[in-house]
């Protein structure tokens, strides 16, 4: 008998919201993505953003999962620009492979009925049921959040150095960054290119309201024998009550690919953060950038959360 998906009753929304909040906090903390109070603040902001009208939010569908008269979980779906998102999937019992397959089939049918171009799921590394839901169906990682904590003690002499970015170089960097990020947002399926361009400008302005003078923002050019070979942008944030470096952008000029400069820039970033007494570095990498993912894992970065996409 197939699973039955039924809209969550209004009378149960507050109870479900509290349980979902607790689950998001626990996943964030246990994964290492957001230790301590970081996970609480993120969960509250996340729920407020995605459910502004509660159960009446037009883009949200919250469904109970019933098997033979017994409720075994709750599914939260969100409809984006061109995608159906599995926002949260929680079970009260450990699901069987058959139940997960049935649920996947029904969610895929919902996505197709909504004319979604893709099905998307965001998973922390320890979410066993979530990984069971996507297993064997062709999902590919779209983006990956990674962390290096603590920073290793390396001894890697290199001719590469990091120097603060000049105002002239900063102007060119910002123009290119806004354009590149807009393309990435549009490619994610979350919004149109026009909306992505506006959002890209907003986000860059939010990160750098005072340009190069913005507090806790470090922008470097990577030099070898005085010649620029790449750039590095780091934001100093808080993670678990400690200063945490987050790499917003790292690039090696196309003319200097395959010379080991990507690894050298990452090593230089570690050294720069050690001098600032910052003990961890985080970053986001697109899943299709297999070379970068492999490099970061070789350097000791571990995966915390992955956004997975299945084209329909």
- Are residues 25 and 112 both part of a single domain? yes
- Report pLDDT for 124: 97
What's the pLDDT score for residue 188? 60
pLDDT at 80: 86
- CA dist 187 and 144 (Å) reads 15
156 pLDDT above the threshold of 90:
no
User: Does the pLDDT value for residue 187 go beyond 80?
Assistant: no
Give the count of domains, the chain.
2
Return the CATH number at 26: 3.40.630.30
Counting residues of the chain whose pLDDT is more than 70, the rounded percentage is 99
- pTM for this entry: 0.90
Percent of the chain at pLDDT exceeding 90:
83
Write down the pLDDT at residue 1.
78
Would residue 268 count as lying in a domain?
Answer: yes
Q: Are residues 67 and 26 in the same domain?
A: yes
pLDDT (mean) for 106-117: 96
- Structural domain span for residue 244: 160-279
Does residue 256 share a domain with residue 164? yes
pLDDT of 186 > 80? The answer is no
Please report whether residue 213 resides in a domain.
yes
């Amino acid at each position: 008998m197939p699973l039955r998906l039924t809209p969550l009753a209004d009378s149960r929304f507050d109870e479900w919201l509290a349980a979902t909040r607790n689950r998001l906090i626990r996943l964030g903390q246990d994964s290492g993505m957001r230790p301590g109070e970081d996970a609480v603040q993120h969960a509250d902001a996340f729920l407020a953003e995605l459910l502004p009208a509660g159960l009446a939010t037009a883009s949200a569908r919250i469904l109970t999962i019933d098997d033979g008269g017994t409720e075994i979980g709750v599914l939260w779906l969100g409809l984006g620009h061109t995608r159906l998102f599995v926002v949260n999937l929680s079970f009260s019992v450990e699901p069987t492979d058959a139940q997960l397959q049935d649920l996947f089939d029904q969610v895929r049918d919902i996505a197709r009925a909504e004319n979604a171009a893709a099905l998307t799921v965001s998973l922390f590394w320890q979410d066993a049921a979530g990984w069971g839901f996507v297993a064997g169906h062709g999902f590919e990682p779209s983006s990956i959040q990674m962390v290096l904590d603590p920073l290793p003690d390396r001894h890697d002499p290199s001719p590469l150095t990091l120097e603060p970015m000049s105002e002239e170089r900063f102007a060119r960097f910002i123009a290119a960054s806004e354009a590149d990020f807009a393309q990435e947002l549009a490619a994610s399926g979350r919004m149109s290119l026009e909306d992505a361009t506006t959002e890209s400008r907003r986000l860059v302005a939010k990160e750098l309201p005072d340009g190069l003078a913005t507090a806790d923002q470090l922008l470097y050019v990577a030099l070898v024998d005085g010649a620029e070979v790449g750039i590095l942008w780091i934001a100093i944030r808080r993670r678990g009550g400690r200063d945490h470096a987050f790499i917003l952008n790292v690039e090696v000029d196309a003319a200097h690919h395959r010379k080991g400069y990507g690894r050298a820039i990452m090593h230089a970033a570690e050294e720069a953060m050690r001098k600032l007494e910052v003990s961890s570095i985080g970053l986001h990498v697109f899943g299709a950038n297999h070379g970068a993912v492999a490099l970061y894992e070789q350097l000791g970065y571990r995966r915390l959360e992955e956004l997975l996409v299945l084209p329909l």
